[in-house]
Amino acid sequence: MTMPQYEVESGFQRTKTLTITSGKGGVGKTTVTSNLANQLAKQGKKVLILDGDLGMANVDIMFGKKATRNVLDVVNGECGLNEILFELAPNIHLISGGSGIKELQNLSEFQRRLLIDQVSQIPNQFDYLIIDTAPGIDDNVLYLNAAAYDVNIIVTPDPASLTDSYALIKVLNKFYKQNRFSIISNFVKDEAEGLSLYKRISDVSSQFLNVSLDYKGSIPMDPYVRNATKSQQLVTTTYPSSPSSLAITSLAKKLSGFKDIEEIQGGMQFFWKHVFGVA
């Protein structure tokens, strides 16, 4: 299955779309997603998060809140897509996937077109759409990653993380023709270990696949993250000077340094069209 990488949508603000994904669970995806959104918001950027982790949707909990509606409510005709936008914090809104993302694979053509029509109702002021996917290579993980412009894979020193991340890259490359990925190393002891993880997965990927891997940076193992999470708070807010907060701030600055969206030509309209299966 070939997934085009971009299209130009006239009259619609170009929103940078990126996934935070992984080959296995327990690598800190939701923590990275939430704190990255928080740091971008502090820079004055407007962020929309799509929580696509089926059965484990918990981005709202990271902000100490609980979303009341999700995508399934839209599929069932109970409300419009714009009505499920949930404000997590200033400049940060959430679309909770709940169990709704899986339902999108079985929509009728009429339902798909109806949902796409509703995309235009979403306020188009967002600078970023960040998708927190489930781990692994299930269909819902694959098509969320295939629809986004920038695929960010979280890896850790756990050998299974590297093996499963390579499997994710391989499947996306083979079946969706994705050939560009970003790597973020998490739970590392220092930058040297983070860079070493990137080189290991980059070397094996370049040897067997026709892909390009970009190193976004690393986030160190930090007890402050656990303390903040237990309190349903963000480490970047509660402990802004902690090692992990400083690393995530650096990642946010790198994202802000992207080329203008008119040049890279990715956007929210494109993302939703392909999630809903409407080319």
Contact in structure between 18 and 184 (CB atoms under 8 Å) = no
CA dihedral 139, 124, 120, 50 (to 10 degrees): 20
Q: Report pLDDT for 62.
A: 93
Token output for 235: 């480490």
Residue 185 located in a structural domain: yes
Dihedral sign, Cα of residue 219, residue 223, residue 225, residue 229: positive
Res 12: pLDDT: 43
Could you tell me if residue 4 is inside a domain? no
Q: What is the pLDDT of residue 203?
A: 97
For 246, the domain range is 16-275
Map residue 172 onto helix, strand or coil.
helix
CATH number at residue 54: 3.40.50.300
pLDDT at 100: 63
**11 falls within a domain:** no
The answer to whether position 262 is within a domain reads yes
pLDDT along the chain (279 residues), means of 10: 37 76 95 97 94 80 91 84 92 85 70 71 83 90 88 97 98 95 97 98 96 97 94 96 98 76 56 69
Q: Please check whether residue 256 lies inside any domain of the structure.
A: yes
155: left (phi over 0), alpha (psi -120 to 50) or beta: beta
CA 176, 180, 183 angle in degrees (round to 5)? 115
Question: Does residue 94 lie within any of the structural domains?
Answer: yes
Report CA-CA distances (Å) from 198 to 9, 154, 179, 215.
34, 10, 16, 7
Residue 97 identity (one-letter amino acid) = G
Bridge partners, residue 154, by sequence: 184
Query: What is residue 191's predicted lDDT score, i.e. its pLDDT?
Result: 96
Count of domains forming the chain: 1
What angle do helix axes 139-147 and 268-275 make, rounded to 10 degrees? 150
Domain-embedded: residue 8: no
- Strand order from edge to edge, sheet including 92-96: 86-89, 92-96, 47-52, 128-133, 16-21, 150-155, 180-188, 212-220
On average, the pLDDT of the chain sits at: 86
Quick check: 85 and 130 in contact, CB under 8 A?
no
Query: Could you tell me if residue 201 is inside a domain?
Result: yes
Q: What is the pTM of this model?
A: 0.88
